[in-house]
Structure formats: C-alpha cells, structure tokens
Chains A and B, each alone.
Chain A
Amino acid sequence: SQQGEEDPQALSIQEGENATMNCSYKTSINNLQWYRQNSGRGLVHLILIRSNEREKHSGRLRVTLDTSKKSSSLLITASRAADTASYFCATDAAGGGADGLTFGKGTHLIIQP
C-alpha cells in the first residue's frame, strides 16, 4: 500500500529556479528518505531525515520534516538540467512491521534548459 503521497505529481521549471516537492504520510515513522530515479532505472538515495530531526541539508538539497502534520518537503535549489528525474519519498515505519520502505507515487520533475 502507498503511504507517502507526493505533491505535485509533475513539475516543470526553468533551469536555475528552485524546485519544491512535498510528501505526506499516514503512520508514525522512524525516518523518511528521498530518492531520485532517472528514466525507469534504479533509485538513488538522496537524503534521510530521522523522526526527531526537523531539517537537513545536503549540497543543493534541503529536506524538512513535520511529524505533527506527517509531511516532508524536498527543496532543490539552483536547479540544473541533470536534475530532471522522478523523486520519491519513502517512509520507514516505526515499530517495525512487514512493509519495508513505503514509497509514494513520486513527483516527475522536468528542468527546462
């Protein structure tokens, strides 16, 4: 079952602009992770934020987590054509369980040169 839901489903911006993607989830989590996927290939791990963290940075990426609203956002600053990809949030549910990582359906990001 899908726990994470990304918003928007698709986003097209000009190179150099910032891109913001949002993710909502339903249950308590240990951590939330963001992944990138290019053209149906494997997923690339971008960043992991623990449930007791509120914000995390990695290069041009900034992730926020609001556990009270069960939501997260991924900001990509100064976008580049190479950032064109699908972005997925994935939650690692608290308390273990049988679901592994639960992924949303993703945001397809297109960077126009």
Chain B
Amino acid sequence: KAGVTQTPRYLIKTRGQQVTLSCSPISGHRSVSWYQQTPGQGLQFLFEYFSETQRNKGNFPGRFSGRQFSNSRSEMNVSTLELGDSALYLCASSLGGTSGYTFGSGTRLTVV
C-alpha cells in the first residue's frame, strides 16, 4: 500500500512569504501529525489532526497552522516566514491507539 506522501519535497521561500505543505496519509489512517526537525532543536511536535479536528498543538507561534480535510489529507501553513523556519517538516499518519506512526519523507523548507 502507498505510504505517507508529502509534497513538495523541497521548497525555497523568501522571508515574509507564506508557504503551504501537503500530506496525504496512508489510506484508512485518520490521524495526521506534523513535526519540525532542525539541527538545533531536533524533532518538535507541531500539531495533530483527527477526523478534521485539531486534537493537539505543540508550542509554536500562531504563524503555524494546519487543517485536515474529509479525506484525511492535511495541509500545514506557515505565514510571515522567518529564517528560523528553515527545517525539515515531517508528516506522520496513524491508525491511532498504540500502532505507531508512519512518516513521510518530509518537505525541506529553506527560507532565504
């Protein structure tokens, strides 16, 4: 079965712009989570969606937002980009419970 698909793979944006990243979970997975990975801070939880509802949110400013559609696909948006937003953004889907997460290959965002 297809894995978690994230698009685009690479992105270069200018400070002040906004960006939208997309994630298609494994078919049947209703939980989608987003993580930011940087060399300095490591992997940090952004938010989790389940059945179109944001269930949890990490400690990130309001410039980071997301949503989930009825087909479980998810998008995250970052507005007013800052240099420090340069990172690998990872999406993960899960059946829920204790099944573990399946991660996508990530979107590498560079802000210049």
A residues in contact with B33, CB < 8 Å: 100-101
Query: Of B45, B100, B103, which is within 8 A of A48 by CB?
Result: B100
A48 engages B105 (CB within 8 Å)? no
Size of A's binding interface in residues, CB under 8 A: 28
In the complex, B43 has a CB within 8 A of chain A:
yes
Q: Nearest residue in A to B101 (C-beta to C-beta)?
A: A45
Q: Name the one of A42, A88, A100 contacting B56, with C-beta atoms under 8 angstroms.
A: A100
> Do A98 and B104 contact each other (CB < 8 Å), given the known contacts A43-B90, A50-B98?
no
Contact A103 B43 (CB under 8 A): yes
Determine how close the nearest CB of chain B comes to the CB of A67; give it in whole angstroms: 15
* B101 contact from A2, A101, A102, A105, Cβ within 8 A: A101
Chain A: minimal CB distance from B3 (Å): 8
Please classify the interface of chain B as helix (H, G, I), strand (E, B), loop, or mixed, using the class held by over half of its residues. Answer: strand
Give every chain A residue within 8 A of B37 (Cβ-Cβ).
Answer: 40
A30 to B96, CA, bound (A): 13
Q: Which residues of chain A come closer than 8 Å to B90, judged between CB atoms?
A: 42-43
The reply on B88 being an interface residue by CB < 8 A is yes
Q: In whole Å, how far is A16's beta carbon from the nearest beta carbon of chain B?
A: 28
Residues of B within 8 A of A96 (CB): 56
Q: Report yes or no: B45 in contact with A101, Cβ–Cβ below 8 A.
A: yes
Q: A44 CA to B42 CA in the complex, in Å?
A: 16
B63 at the interface (CB under 8 A from A): no
Q: Provide the A82-113 mask, 1 if CB < 8 A to any CB of B, else 0.
A: 00000010101000111111111110000000
Residues of chain B having any CB pair with chain A under 8 Å: 4, 33, 35, 37, 42-48, 56-59, 88, 90, 92, 98-106, 108
